[in-house]
Amino acid sequence: MPERDIVSASLRDEERQFEAALRPQRLADFAGQPKLKEILAIAIEAAKQRGEAMDHVLLYGPPGLGKTTLAGIIASELGVNLQQTSGPVLQKKLDLVGILSNLQEREVFFIDEIHRLLPDVEEMIYSALEDFRMDILVGTGPGARTVAMPIKRFTAIGATTRQGLISAPLRGRFGLVLRLNHYDMVELARIVLRSARLLDAAIDPDGAEEIARRSRGTPRIANRLLRRVRDYAQVRASGHIDLEVARAALDLLEVDPYGLDEIDQKIMRTLLEKHGGGPVGINTIAASIDEESDTIEEVYEPYLMQLGFLDRTPRGRVATERAFDYFKVPRRMRGAQNTLF
C-alpha cells in the first residue's frame, strides 16, 4: 500500500475511534430526532416485555446523522450483542451464511450501506429477514436441491444514505422505516457541549453555538470541528473555547458562517458565475469542479437545499435569490450560458 494511503487509512481509523468515544450508549442520551426516538423507544420496550426479537429497522438519511450510533443504542437497550457489517463487504452468499448462522437469539445484525448489497446476496437475505431461515443450494446439476436452514430470530438494522436505491422487496421486509433529519442549531449545541465534557475541554455556550452553527446540521461534523477548535484553543487561547476563539479557529479552517466548505463554494460559484444561476445539469457541475456527481447529490446538495441556496428542477439545478445575495453575485450574471445534460 502506498505511504499516502497508509497515512489516510490511519487518519480514518483515528476519526472512527474519536467518534466511537463520543457516541451515546442509551436512547435518552441521543440528542435530537424526537419522533424517531419515541417510535424506537416503544418498539424496544414492547420487544423486551414480550421477550422477542425486535422488528427489523431501516434507517435512512444523509451521512453523519447517527445511523450507526442508533444501531449500537438499540442493541444496548435490548441488552444484546451487535454484529456489524456493510453492503460492500458482503460479496458472496457464503459471507452472509457465516454471519447469520452464528447470530444468537434476539441479537442485532447491523448492515451499513445496505443499498450496496449484491443482487444474489440480497435475494438470500429475504428469507432470513422474513422467515428466519436460509435457503442453501446443495449439489450441482440435475441432482441439486435447496435446503432450508433455520436461524435464530434476530433484529436486522439496515442503514443507507440512498433509500431510493433499495429494492421494494428488501424495503418491504423492514417493519420500521425511519428517516433521520438534519439537526437544528440548539440540538447541535447540546451535542457539542456533551462532547466537550467527554473530552474535558472547557467551552462556553456561545462557543458551542458557533461550532454548531457551522456544522451543516450534522453531529459528525460538529464533533470533528470541536476537535479542531479544541486544538486551536490549546495552542492559541489557554485551552478555553469562547465565542472569539471558536470564530478564529473556524475562520482559520475556512469554514464559513453557514458551514460551507471549499466544495460547497465551488458548486455554488459554478452555478452562479459560470451558468448564471441555472438551470444546469448535475453532470456539468461535477465536471466543472472535478467531483463525482453522486457525491454532490448525496453529501453537498441536501444541505445547500436546506439553506435555501439551491433547487432541483426537472431542467436541472437552479440557484435561488438568496444564493445570489449571500455569494454577492451580480444579477447581470443571470444571462450567462446555461448547459444541460
Residues annotated catalytic, as ranges? 67-68, 112, 161, 220
> Which whole-number Å values give the CA distances from 165 to 26, 160, 177, 241, 296, in the listed order?
30, 9, 14, 42, 16
Question: How many angstroms separate the CA atoms of 108 and 101, rounded?
Answer: 13
Q: What share of the chain is helix, strand, coil (3-state, %, to 5)?
A: 55, 15, 30
Asked if residues 227 and 18 have their Cβ atoms less than 8 Å apart, the reply is yes
**Which residues, other chains included, contact 289 with Cβ-Cβ below 8 Å and sequence gap of 6+?**
263, 266, 267, 270
Question: How many angstroms separate the CA atoms of 70 and 201, rounded?
Answer: 25
Query: Burial, 328: exposed, middle or buried (Cβ in 10 Å; 0-12, 13-18, 19+)?
Result: exposed
β-sheet bridge partners, residue 135: 148
Question: How many angstroms separate the CA atoms of 20 and 72, rounded?
Answer: 10
Question: For 29, which DSSP code?
Answer: G
All 3 cell numbers of residue 172?
418491504
